[in-house]
């Protein structure tokens, strides 16, 4: 399962959930300020809830992990063409959602890219080597692998999966975190139907109900991580942008500062473009997607859509998110290598100085804004900011 940039809730408390393989884990956090019916949940209630959630995450991972030999996904990947594989409820549900999202994104989101990820050495077997500089695979090898990376070669009917091409392999990492967060939310609501609180599964966060302890009157507030913190200063170097007045929303961020390497003045990120067979190169460095919890599979949608934004020309990416906003209220924040950002949807997005003015006015003068709101229409060709070139040079030196 791929690691992507964490959408960091300001109040998050990390709780690690161990998995079947020692080298793999799911990061899960549950806010200690959780309420039900206006009553704050006790420490023991939260502990019991965490235990149940841990068991649920284990159950899901046992079906969809590429690292567990007997998982559904591993059995699908090992199957020959025409061989029928029966899968568990979570795998079947995820594949159904994937099929829908593959169509809605015109193929920009695809769960059939495991072979390409392995070709570029971003699969778990290369952990510890992700950042090692290396030349691109040959064009012929990329083309050959691309042929064996088509989701259209996967036939899904209920709990039955059949591959038309035995070489195709799945990786559900682009949707698994969001799907897990949907399942966690359902579990919580079964126990506490009027639950108010927050939790995160890796880079997917879910903000349920209205914030109860809200002396500042800002609702749920959250920080969008600065993917270029390595070359920017300020008193809050990880805070590129901030959200305020959030509630009843699932949020997912994908960015290029996790699992990447620099070679020949180019950043090669782990997010593979299913059309080119290469790491995404559309000028996007971070995408955050916000999906109202009123939509079915909100977490899964946020997860997949944040990945898809890396796999289209920039103008198409922004048009795609605008269409989602108009159709169903899904918003997005897209940051590009020219250190500009675009906001799609009616969400309150604050610069660091604006946020400091609201919560710590005395720090306003010492806080630096990193990104600028994009003015005018975007172009598909993004001219990198000087700080982007500095960032690339920083990793070249290593």
Give tens-digit pLDDT for 332-365: 999 999 999 999 999 999 999 999 999 888 888 8
Please give the average per-residue pLDDT across 212-217, as a whole number: 84
Owner of token pair 């920039």: 314
91-95 own/partner pairs: CB under 8 Å, 24+ apart = 91/63, 91/64, 91/159, 91/161, 91/172, 92/156, 92/158, 92/159, 93/179, 94/64, 94/172, 94/175, 94/176, 94/179, 94/300, 95/154, 95/156, 95/161, 95/172
- Residue bearing the bigger pLDDT, 23 or 256: 256
* Fold annotation for 67-170: T-fold (1.10.3980)
Q: Which of 23-37, 102-116, 316-330, 383-397 has the lowest mean pLDDT?
A: 23-37
* Fold annotation for 214-393: T-fold (3.10.520)
- pLDDT at residue 12, rounded to an integer: 34
Q: What is the pLDDT of residues 284-298, one digit of tens each?
A: 999 999 999 999 999
pTM for the whole structure: 0.91
- Residue bearing the bigger pLDDT, 391 or 234: 391
Q: In what order do the strands lie in the sheet with 160-163?
A: 84-86, 160-163, 154-157
In the chain, CATH 1.10.3980.10 covers 67-170
CA distance 191 to 365: 46
- pLDDT at residue 222, rounded to an integer: 84
Confidence of residue 213 (pLDDT cuts 50, 70, 90): confident
User: Collapsing DSSP states into helix, strand and coil, what is residue 331?
Assistant: strand
Q: What is the pLDDT of residues 39-89, one digit of tens each?
A: 999 999 999 999 999 999 999 999 999 999 999 999 999 999 999 999 999
Burial readout 259-279 (b: 16 or more C-beta within 10 A, e: otherwise): bbbbeeeebbbbbbbbeebbb
- pLDDT at residue 388, rounded to an integer: 97
Q: What is the pLDDT of residues 241-285, one digit of tens each?
A: 999 999 999 999 999 999 999 999 999 999 999 999 999 999 999
- Residue bearing the bigger pLDDT, 221 or 26: 221
Confidence of residue 198 (pLDDT cuts 50, 70, 90): very high
- pLDDT at residue 398, rounded to an integer: 56
Q: What is the pLDDT of residues 150-190, one digit of tens each?
A: 999 999 999 999 999 999 999 999 999 999 999 999 999 99
- pLDDT at residue 20, rounded to an integer: 35
DSSP 143-170: HHHHHT--GGGEEEETTEEEESSTT---
In the chain, CATH 3.10.520.10 covers 214-393
Contact assessment for residue 219 and residue 245, using Cβ atoms and an 8 Å cutoff: yes
- pLDDT at residue 203, rounded to an integer: 85
Confidence of residue 126 (pLDDT cuts 50, 70, 90): very high
């Amino acid at each position: 399962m791929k690691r992507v940039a964490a959408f960091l809730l300001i109040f998050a408390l990390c709780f690690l959930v161990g998995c079947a393989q020692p080298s793999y884990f799911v990061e899960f956090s549950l806010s200690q300020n959780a309420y039900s019916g206006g009553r704050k949940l006790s420490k023991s209630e939260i502990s019991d809830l965490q235990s149940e959630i841990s068991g649920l995450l284990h159950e899901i991972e046992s079906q969809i992990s590429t690292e567990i030999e007997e998982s559904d996904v591993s059995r699908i990947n090992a199957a020959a063409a025409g061989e029928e594989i029966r899968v568990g409820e979570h795998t079947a549900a995820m594949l159904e959602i994937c099929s829908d999202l593959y169509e809605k994104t015109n193929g920009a989101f695809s769960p059939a890219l495991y072979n390409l990820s392995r070709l570029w050495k971003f699969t778990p077997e290369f952990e510890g080597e992700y950042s090692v500089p290396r030349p691109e695979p040959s064009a012929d090898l990329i083309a050959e692998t691309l042929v064996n990376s088509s989701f259209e070669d996967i036939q899904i009917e209920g709990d039955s999966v059949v591959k038309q091409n035995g070489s195709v392999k799945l990786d559900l990492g682009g949707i698994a975190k969001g799907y897990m967060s949907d399942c966690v939310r359902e579990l919580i609501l079964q126990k506490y139907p009027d639950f108010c609180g927050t939790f995160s599964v890796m880079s997917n966060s879910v903000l349920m109900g209205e914030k109860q302890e809200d002396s500042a009157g800002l609702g749920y507030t959250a920080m969008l991580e600065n993917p270029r913190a390595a070359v920017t200063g300020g008193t809050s170097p990880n805070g590129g942008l901030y959200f305020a007045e959030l509630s009843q929303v699932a949020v997912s961020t994908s960015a290029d500062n996790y699992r990447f390497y620099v070679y020949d003045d180019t950043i090669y990120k782990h997010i593979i473009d299913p059309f080119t067979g290469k790491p995404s190169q559309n000028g996007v460095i971070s995408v955050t997607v916000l999906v109202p919890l009123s939509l079915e599979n909100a977490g899964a949608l946020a997860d997949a859509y944040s990945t898809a934004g890396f796999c289209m020309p920039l103008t198409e990416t922004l048009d795609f998110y605008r269409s989602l906003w108009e159709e169903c209220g899904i918003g997005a924040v897209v940051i590009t290598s020219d250190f500009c950002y675009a906001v799609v949807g009616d969400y309150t997005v604050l610069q660091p100085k604006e946020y400091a003015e609201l919560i710590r006015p005395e720090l306003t003068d010492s806080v630096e804004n990193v990104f600028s709101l994009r003015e005018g229409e975007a172009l598909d060709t993004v001219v990198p900011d000087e700080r982007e070139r500095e960032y690339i040079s920083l990793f070249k030196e290593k």
